[in-house]
Structure 1
């Protein structure tokens, strides 16, 4: 990643819907982050306590560090995320780079939610994350929109679409898991890699079984896997 950070997404929903997903707790809970004991407190910390709304319905700044701007687009909306220069003119702290990669992951989850059928997006979400250092050549090098299939773990052949690709991340939409999203991130300056799996509308038992298989696979394809 260079010293600059910008992200630009075309989203399949009107600006007022995108804005609601940045402000309303129930909608935030459909896409942001991964589940843990402090999830509700984290939502409040990031999207309430740390937010300055600069243009209602259009623009806000989170934690003084990143500006989110929503505009109209023929396909729905555009969401532009850019880094805010430190007010004192100091150099940007490189420890924020893993946080910015986190925004890439999360906002692709937002894009997924807006692309799903509303009933599916409102279904129970299961999201799991594990850190680690994945080995090179782990998964397909196909470009966004391409079909893919693989036996990533176990006997089941998974298939889907390459959802997005960046220098550090690959997102795979997995059709057999209710259009789940599997995101694999390689190491970034100041941080590790990680795997994030999000699915909707599956039973707790089915999601837990997939999670066990995923984490067993991840342990075998990473050099180190912290317990967190």
Structure 2
């Protein structure tokens, strides 16, 4: 079996200024998962149910696991918690090689922390940008200083209060272009205000990225 086909072990964790029980609800209740997990598209609710309800097994208090041996756990107390996404095993080959699930957790846990700590009100709606660009271009597009979360993910809260998470399949400092994903999470916007955000990001992303695509849900969930 080649290194590329061997499941890569990982351990992604994030500290949250919220109580353990509140965090556990946010990672197990579909209505709350909808407020931070992934990005809007018309199949998001079905994806959440498949991953967190149909496929997940409760293995211990505040731990859920999946058939591949990976698990998500929450530890802490009434005021602070740590969320860990783990796939155990020995590293095969390059421990820094790209793994979509690992990097997905890195991005999504940032979105979870934002929800729990900033407590934004109203329906979450997202703009999901994909295409080919350099990490430097994507970081510059964010329009402000970003915080890195590993080599491939960075984030910031922009001047309008929207969370922007930037993720690449290679180091964001690399000068070569590669596949990039940007999730802009908004909360509490009416249709007109959201359309302004969508138009602004579309106009900036489309001329910059190769094979640029912009995705959002036709009908956001309540």
Shift of 1:113: 0.2
CA deviation profile, 1:187-227 (whole Å, cap 9, x unmatched)? 249x9321110011122211121112112211222233257
Q: Distance in 2 between matches of 1:162 and 1:75?
A: 26
Give the match for residue 8 of structure 1. 13
Q: Distance in 2 between matches of 1:20 and 1:7?
A: 19
Give the match for residue 73 of structure 2. 69
Q: Distance in 2 between matches of 1:128 and 1:65?
A: 32
Once the two structures are superposed, the pairs formed by residues 179-218 of structure 1 within 5 Å of their partners are: 179-188=161-170, 192-218=179-205
- Structure 2 length as normaliser, TM-score? 0.77
The more displaced of 61-70 and 36-45 is 61-70
Give the match for residue 138 of structure 1. 137
Q: Name structure 1 gaps, 5 residues minimum.
A: 141-149
Q: Distance in 1 between matches of 2:10 and 2:30?
A: 26
Q: Distance in 1 between matches of 2:200 and 2:213?
A: 17
Structure 1 vs Structure 2 CA RMSD: 3.1
Q: Distance in 2 between matches of 1:220 and 1:210?
A: 17
Q: Name structure 2 gaps, 5 residues minimum.
A: 1-7, 172-177, 216-222
Say which structure, 1 or 2, has more relative contact order (CA 8 Å, 6+ apart): 2
Q: Distance in 1 between matches of 2:102 and 2:128?
A: 16
Q: Distance in 2 between matches of 1:33 and 1:208?
A: 20
Give the match for residue 169 of structure 1. 153
CA deviation profile, 1:12-50 (whole Å, cap 9, x unmatched)? 111111110111111111111111111211110010011
The more displaced of 3-12 and 96-105 is 96-105
Aligned length: 200
- Structure 1 length as normaliser, TM-score? 0.75
